[in-house]
Amino acid sequence: MPIEIIMPQLSPTMEAGTLARWLVKEGDDVASGDILAEIETDKATMEVEAVDEGRVGRILVAEGTDNVPVNRAIALLLEDGEDASALEGIGDETPAPAAGSPAAEPSPGAKRAAPEDGADDSRVRASPLARSMARQTGLELVTLTGSGPRGRIVKRDIEAALASGAAPATAHAPHPVAATPEPRPPVAGFVEVRVSNMRRVIAERLQEAKRTIPHFYLTVDCELDRLLAMRKDLNDRGEDYKLSVNDFVIRALALALGKTPDANAQWAGDTIRRFATVDISVAVAVEGGLVTPIVRHADAKGLATISREMKDLAARAREGKLAPEEYRGGGFSLSNLGMYGVRQFDAVINPPQAGILAVGAGEQRPVVKDGALHVATVMSCTLSCDHRVIDGAIGARLLTAFKGYIEDPLAMLL
């Protein structure tokens, strides 16, 4: 029996991926550990390794295919002693697309009706408009039967599917999209930009966050002058590190979370999960979206270590080269738009986390001290809290501790 190579699940939120590239072709011999294909997930481009030895008998899913459900067979591997005849009757049978359960075992699904002309059925025939409507509504074309010539899926098939309440295959939230109004037809002056997996996940998760998490926001102003002086002093001492303000912010937030364990937690339905370690997800803008690589045990790491890790993570994030464990998990998030000159903003919580700190630009502002006007470099920071986990007082304690570290940075070195 040939071995099925399946679409692996490469992240907890992944339900389908794009088969970006095949690195082997039919007839190639592969050994365990050989890289077979590249899969684009919501976060990154990942490699699929062979776990068995054998010869590539048949490639079932072509390069560039979007939305290949997790656990769907993507190729067949012939074992030692098998020849192509072993493939007969296999692979014409396509496993059903993932039903929404990431844990589902690979299971042969209903046989899809073969197109009339008996041609290779791995290609879905659909009009460009039907494809673009499917992308916009999250419908998966392979689940539909086309009514056009040679089984072509056309606009009316998409409309019928939406009207009948077909759930989009990639929907993360349990809400059906049947009620989605027909997408506004694009007109000249618009460009239809294909929604990447990353963009779709961002959209779904942040929409879920705003819909389900009771957000509230706390803002403090932190004076930065001492921190900046210390940073300059430290940076002048060594060649092998160059600390950024953000490195200080990561450490200050980590220490503040260590001091405020009630805030280092998340909502888990029946329980509140309180974390043993402080792992901070730092938002990094990348081409087409953002990812949040994690500085783990950030409260236990020195500034130079944080700085070095952060540079490496950010660089690899931009290249799409992060390993899943480097962005999966994390207890609390940090988003810094100070470098864009943003004075203050409210961030959306990254579920299932319970908080995110939004950091603005350090800028010179007038401050009143002891009844006199002074100029200080001030940075506004806003904490978004999940009220199910963090009450106002807890949030305020966390923020006070954070402000303390920022304004008295020597305390961070303790």
Is the CB of 14 or the CB of 124 nearer to other proteins?
A: 124
Out of 28, 192, 325, 346, name the contact with other proteins by CB under 8 A: 192
Is the CB of 36 or the CB of 158 nearer to other proteins?
A: 158
Site string for other proteins, 149-168 (x = CB under 8 A): x----xxx------------
Segment contacting other proteins by CB under 8 A, of 122-130, 175-183, 220-228, 301-309: 122-130
The token duo for 111 is 């046989």
Q: Which residues of 172-209 are buried (b: 16+ CB within 10 A; e: fewer)?
A: beeeebeeeeeeeeeeeeeeeeeebbbebbbebbeebb
Asked if 86 touches other proteins (CB under 8 A), the answer is no
Site for other proteins in 195-254 (CB under 8 A): none
CA distances from 76 to 6, 16, 54 (A): 9, 19, 10
280 with 333: CB under 8 angstroms? yes
Is the CB of 45 or the CB of 132 nearer to other proteins?
A: 132
DSSP 58: E
Site string for other proteins, 167-186 (x = CB under 8 A): ------------------xx
Q: Which residues of 259-276 are buried (b: 16+ CB within 10 A; e: fewer)?
A: bbebbbbbbeeeeeeeee
SS3 335: strand
Catalytic machinery residues: 387
How many residues sit close enough to other proteins to count as binding (CB under 8 A)? 17
Q: How far is the CB of 155 from other proteins (least distance, A)?
A: 4
Q: How far is the CB of 181 from other proteins (least distance, A)?
A: 16
41 with 199: CB under 8 angstroms? no
Q: Helix 128-137 to helix 155-163 angle, to the nearest 10 degrees?
A: 30
Segment contacting other proteins by CB under 8 A, of 19-27, 147-155, 394-402, 405-413: 147-155
Phi, psi of 107 (to 5 degrees): -140, 135
Out of 1, 110, 188, 372, name the contact with other proteins by CB under 8 A: 188
How do strand 372-386 and strand 215-223 relate by DSSP bridges?
antiparallel
209 with 351: CB under 8 angstroms? yes
Q: How far is the CB of 152 from other proteins (least distance, A)?
A: 8
75 with 59: CB under 8 angstroms? yes
Segment contacting other proteins by CB under 8 A, of 124-132, 164-172, 234-242, 335-343: 124-132
Q: What angle do CA 302, 304, 308 make, to 5 degrees?
A: 120
Query: Scanning the structure block, which residue is given the tokens 């990094």?
Result: 284
Out of 112, 131, 175, 316, name the contact with other proteins by CB under 8 A: 131
Out of 8, 106, 115, 148, name the contact with other proteins by CB under 8 A: 148
Is the CB of 12 or the CB of 189 nearer to other proteins?
A: 189
Q: How far is the CB of 65 from other proteins (least distance, A)?
A: 18
- Enumerate binding residues for other proteins (CB under 8 A): 127-132, 147-149, 154-156, 185-188, 192
